[in-house]
Amino acid sequence: MKTQVGIVGAGPAGLLLSQLLHLKGVASVVLERRSQAYVLGRIRAGVLEQGTVEIVRRAGAGARMDREGLLHGGLEIAFDSRRFRIDLQALTGGGVMVYGQTELTKDLVEAREAASGSLIYEAQDVRIAELESERPRLIFGHQGEEQTLECDFIAGCDGFHGVSRRSIPSQATTVHERQYPFGWLGVLSETTPVSEELIYANHARGFALCSMRSMTRSRYYVQCSLQDDVAEWSDDRFWDELRARLPDDVAAALQTGPSLEMSIAQLRSFVIEPLRYKRLFLAGDAAHIVPPTGAKGLNLAAADVHYLAEALSDYYRGGHEARLNSYSETCLRRIWKAERFSAWLTSILHRYPDHTSFDRRIQLADLDYLMTSAAARTAFAENYIGLPI
């Protein structure tokens, strides 16, 4: 098999890249180690920045998103018995769209299938060969046989644990990483959201977030210990803990019900530099991880593949390599700003095991400043809706 761009990973990043390349006349093949059912069933992020929304529209996969997605012009933050709203629309002229990653993945799969795109699921033991050559290869098992895919370029969109990043010699990269001493326990429920906008809560018992996937499906989170086992959390225990961390009026209005999904996610910040080695380009979680507090992970991935699609288009249309050569630098400028915002927001909303009374007062001062300063709220809003792509 031969193609121009081999894409490892059929999550939103890999699918979106494949679709963008298709619209630019560039051929690609997407390899995914999981089944299609597994990929379409993954529960992930649901807040899309303005730039991501525009990229999805340009990819021809935004029709259902525009019909069913929820436009949010603001959000609320609760702390120390106080609560305030950040008006994203008034401060920036924009907002965000709540639309589940699961739904976006379905839309992208549909778009690729409508275009007869080549998606190979259950590609086993994928490995990258001859990366030092002009024609690297992807070797994998499929339906009991070993297959080889020759490529001009390879896009590693296969996440933090994927083969792509591990195929780069360690001496050729620099890794930056921070582990957080807590996790998020998340619940998806078929219940009406407690608020029309997201509510972030800083509480003595720990962080909480009220989010949603639709007006009939809610997504809630509470900060938990890394030693917690999800099996020890009953639905009742989760709802009781969530209520305890919310303002009284919000807690009283909370609609509860059986969890459709419950899981614990560890929080980390991670960046690898550079995002390119020879003819292998990293994008999305293969290149960087952010804590979910700022809802930046999926959005950074969309920006990455936008830049990569433009660079590859330049190469195939006119032999121009300038954007390919600057891909890593271009992405990293945006990545580090999102890492900064996500790390800062995490730091002011969560309780840390080693926090002193001084740390707590600094945290409250940060939140109070955000509540009372128009300049601080504007900076927050600019980062939250997404910096320009």
Q: Which residues are catalytic?
A: 72, 200, 292, 296, 384
Cα dist. 59→105, 200, 243, 335 in Å? 13, 32, 41, 22
Assigned token pair, 184: 């998020």
Residue 187: name the closest of 231, 218, 228 by CA: 218
Q: Which of 2, 12, 22 is nearest to 316 (CA)?
A: 22
Residue 291 has φ and ψ, to the nearest 5°, of -60, 150
Buried-exposed string 74-105: b where 16+ CB fall within 10 A, e elsewhere: bbbbbbeeebeebebeebbebbbbbbbbbbbb
Burial bucket for residue 165 (CB in 10 Å: 0-12, 13-18, 19+): buried
What would the two tokens of residue 341 be? Answer: 């915002």
Q: What is the phi/psi pair of residue 148, to 5°?
A: -130, 130
